[in-house]
Amino acid sequence: MSKDTPRLKFSELPAFLKSKLLLHTLIRLFLVVIILWIIQAFFLNLYTNHGQKLTLQKYVGVTLANAKKHAEPRGYEIIVSDSLYIKGRAGGLIVSQIPLPGSQVKRGRKIYVTLTKYQAESFQAELLPILYGKKYEFKRTELFNLFELNSKIKGVKFDPGPENHILEVYYHNQLLINGSERKTNVTIAKGDTLEFVISTKVGGEVPIPNLICQTLAEAKFLLSSSKLELGTIVEEGAITDPETAYIVKQIPEAQDGQTIELGSSFKITIVQQKPENCN
């Protein structure tokens, strides 16, 4: 310190503490501290907001263009990951998004969306996988994954095989596939619907079998294979061996085009000797 620099004497300290110079100095120091605190808070907030999580908007049902207008100013990037045709829905609409609406996501996050197509793609029925005799639930999933096809049960029909297996396939009420037929030249639109008739073991009907002139053993086998029952047996004359006896009457009677419910029973009349009118 220079010899010429004025020094504050202890006796002058009380006067200095009461001086305006000290007051102004303290005010300036306070203002500098406040300004530094504000600057620090501003940059800290800016740094924190860079990684801030926001609640993601629901974009499902919105057009891609409108979704981008909303997302891009918020730092999101919308990417189309897939598209599918939905009958009756306009094209260019978002039908799903990842992350899901309401998720907490950071700025800069990519939002993956699936859109509806403006026009359905089509293909020939020959490209359909094997459907007849296959389990309906498995094929419903396969058809949607391969062709975006929806599946609907048109009806059920008795079949002695496993339940819920495909017996018939229809497209716009046109038969495509059954046990003996498979049409290959029909054009099918992706996103459309196939209708199915599937198998059941309950409530079926079968034609009434003709048991006349058959032996009792033959009739038992025929009824069993048709899932029908043998009920009352009426004997005419002496019966020495019922299994080889012949049936001469049955109730219900067999008639062309007539059917009977599964599990129904028959009343028959048997004789031991083969009737003359039986060949």
Q: Tokens in use for 148?
A: 């975006």
pLDDT band at residue 233 using 50, 70 and 90 as cut-offs: very high
CA 199 to chain centre: 21
In CATH, 205-271 is 3.40.50.970: no
138-142 mean pLDDT:
95
Fold of 122-200: Trypsin Inhibitor V; Chain A (3.30.10)
**DSSP secondary structure letter of residue 7:** -
User: What six digits make up the tokens of 63?
Assistant: 């057009």
54-116: CATH topology is: Trypsin Inhibitor V; Chain A (3.30.10)
Buried b / exposed e over 11-37, threshold 16 CB at 10 Å, is eeeeeeeeeeeeeeeeeeeeeeeeeee
Answer whether residue 268 shows pLDDT above 50. Answer: yes
Mean pLDDT of the chain: 85
pLDDT value of position 7 = 62
CA distance 235 to 250: 12
More confident residue, 121 or 143: 143
Residues of the chain within CATH 3.30.10.20 domain(s) are: 54-116, 122-200, 205-271
Q: For residue 13, what pLDDT band results from cuts at 50, 70 and 90?
A: low
